[in-house]
Amino acid sequence: MTSRAQRIPDLVGTARSIASGDTTSTAVVERCLDRIQDVDGDIGAFTVVFRDNARAAAAQADAAVRAGSALGPLHGVPIAIKDHIWMQGELATNGSLAYEHFIAPKDCTAVARLRQAGAILIGKTNNPEFCYRGFTDNALWGVTRNPHDLGRTPGGSSGGSAAAVAAGMVPGSLGTDGGGSIRLPAAFCGVVGHKPTFGVVPKDPGFHGWKTLSVTGPIARSVRDCAAIMDAIAGPDPTDDLSFPSAPTAYSAMLDTAEPVLRRLRVAYSTDLGFAPVDGDVRQRFTTIVERLRSSGITLAEAHPPTGDPNQLWNDIALCEGYASEGPLLQDWEKKMTPGIAQIVREGASKSAADYINALYRRAEYTEHWLQFFEEYDILLTPTAQVTAFPLGQDTPATAGGLPVDPFFDAWSAMFYPANLTGQPATSIPIGLSDQGLPIGIQAMGRRFDDATVLAAAATIEGLQQ
């Protein structure tokens, strides 16, 4: 199924072709709609497809080209939006029956900026209830399947967004990442996903959820496509209390000098962060890429940040913030929630304000260790996910690195949590397939507010695959 993904052009190339008149937005939108019609019945990536609105927007985009009007950088390009993310006047169910009929009253700032850049928002993509799972399934919209193997999960929680890109239904999408929710699906589906620095891309208005952990970011088929989306959506927003003031960054421009920049960087790598179980095929593929980088003249040093397993710390914060957001729904909706999700929300009720504040103190100490590590290194490379996509019907992989996995976000997701706890940027880049034909990803993590360097490093790694 994924072999036909090339029928949908890349995002940057599509934008250029539309602007130059080599193709039309209408033609591109129709190809996307045809592709969705052909394959999404099997995959289940989309919750809603805006066929009429997308066609009307494409016609307006084409008229603007003919009139010689000023065009945005994503003019006429179709992009999908995760269900969790608000689009004014459209359903935003958050994968929950509690929000089955909820219509978003406003655009999330990132969505508004995509519109300003000329993008055509073609539909909403599936996520698990409240985005609280590493797979994508819910009682409202059903299961989303991995385009590489329909019997396996695309990951979560931005599983619909990653599957839509991997299957060639759209050239790019928006997801969110509070505990790996962009990077895990990107790795499982063989696409690129960037988790921005916390505060660089405004997340409000929208659902709160993991308020201090989650960010909004791009998923696409290439690093350059992700950078183009970042160019459109990043930047401060005075209405968002967690948005950081910063000067605009031209992320795409940084890629033009990606390899020379990476050669000047101090690059560390760690197969397992010193403690995490990693499957053999993931370990082998990661090691191969590290050696390719070294052979290309890039200096790397093996190093493990001295922080240990972040699972308990991440859970303590996520449970508190999740209960603050979803706890009020328990009285009326608990019996209709996904059983595992209701349990997670209830568990947050056992935490006190003191527990939360104590977790924030521990988080500050944990973050300080990471910041010290990045005084010595510019980039850290790890496997994105320690496992490949696991079968549908499982909440987690059965094993990781040959060891049994406990329920809900145990050690199998250890690579994701550091960037969410510290707020640092991290990109997942596909680096090949396992013996079973399942995608494997590598993660590049960098300093806070240095997303451009992380994307440049990712582009160099991507180039080794071509």
Residues with catalytic function: 82, 157, 181
Residue whose tokens read 């508004």: 112
Tokens of 56: 């009307």
Spatial CA neighbour of 416 closest among 158, 132, 180: 180
What are the beta bridge partners of residue 276? none
| 404 CB neighbour count, 10 Å cutoff | 11
What are the beta bridge partners of residue 146? 149
Spatial CA neighbour of 217 closest among 252, 268, 181, 167: 181
Tokens of 270: 């760690």
List Cα–Cα distances, 396 to 166, 308, 381, 393, 437, in angstroms.
21, 21, 24, 9, 19
The Cα 23–Cα 16 span in angstroms is 9
H or E element in which residue 313 lies = helix 311-326
Tokens of 344: 């997670």
Spatial CA neighbour of 450 closest among 213, 289, 230, 187: 230
227 Cβ partners below 8 Å, 6+ apart? 251, 252, 254, 255, 455, 459
